[in-house]
Amino acid sequence: IYLGAKHMMTGYDHLLFLLGVIFFIYRIQNVIIYVSLFAAGHVITLLSGVLLEISINAYIIDAIIGFSIVYKALDNMGAYQCWFGFQPNNKVATVLFGLLHGFGLAAKILEYNISADGLLANLIFFNIGVEIGQILALIIILIAMNFWRKSSSFMQLAYKANVFIMILGFLIIGFQITGYSVQ
């Protein structure tokens, strides 16, 4: 598993999605709820994807992960309310995208054809490491966000920040579709 983790993405795509999820969440209890929902979805498909050998093309699933980033940025900008007149359920969306993000890691792990000996234990410890890294990165993000939220520029720049997050999501989609096209 370590070899696979060493060569995988850095997780910036997962963190971009979670940044979008927590962007307008001010209470730590709600941050914990949403991050836990994402992690639950992530764990379910990471473990089941690898153990059941559910192989989804990594480029396709990573393009969908890019879409999740675009989706959340648009949500933060009020697009769904404006376009469709309703607000999608953010908790359901967070779990669903967590499930898709887990398949992204599972696809990458499956590429390494790891032996079944000790696979479950290795996957559990790998996932614990992923979640610890994600939590540490989120703590840094939350500290920075809290400082920014206290400034007068936060509401003025929040829309532009989400446009930037959306652009990064589109870049991930484009990169992954290009990779899929030339593989």
Mind listing the pLDDT tens digit for each residue in 120-175? 888 899 889 888 998 999 999 999 999 999 999 999 999 999 999 999 999 999 99
Confidence of residue 5 (pLDDT cuts 50, 70, 90): very low
Q: What is the pLDDT of residue 1?
A: 34
Q: What is the pLDDT of residue 50?
A: 92
Q: What confidence tens digit (pLDDT) does each residue in 9-56 have?
A: 568 898 999 999 999 999 999 999 999 999 999 999 999 999 999 988
Q: What is the pLDDT of residue 153?
A: 94
- Give per-residue burial for 155-178: e unless 16+ CB within 10 Å, then b: eeebeebbeebbebbeebbeebee
Size of the chain, expressed as the number of residues it contains: 183
Instruction: Assess whether pLDDT exceeds 80 at residue 2.
Output: no
DSSP structure string for 30-96: HHHHHHHHHHHHHHHHHHHHHHTT----HHHHHHHHHHHHHHHHHHHTTHHHHHHSS---HHHHHHH
Q: What is the pLDDT of residue 117?
A: 86
Q: What is the pLDDT of residue 29?
A: 96
Q: What is the pLDDT of residue 10?
A: 66
Distance CA 122, CA 140 (A): 27
Distances 56 to 1, 42, 69, 97, 177 between C-alpha atoms, Å: 18, 15, 19, 15, 14
Closest CA to 42 of 21, 70, 28: 21
Instruction: Assess whether pLDDT exceeds 80 at residue 89.
Output: yes
Instruction: Assess whether pLDDT exceeds 60 at residue 7.
Output: no
Euclidean distance between the first and the last CA atom of the chain, given in angstroms as a whole number = 24
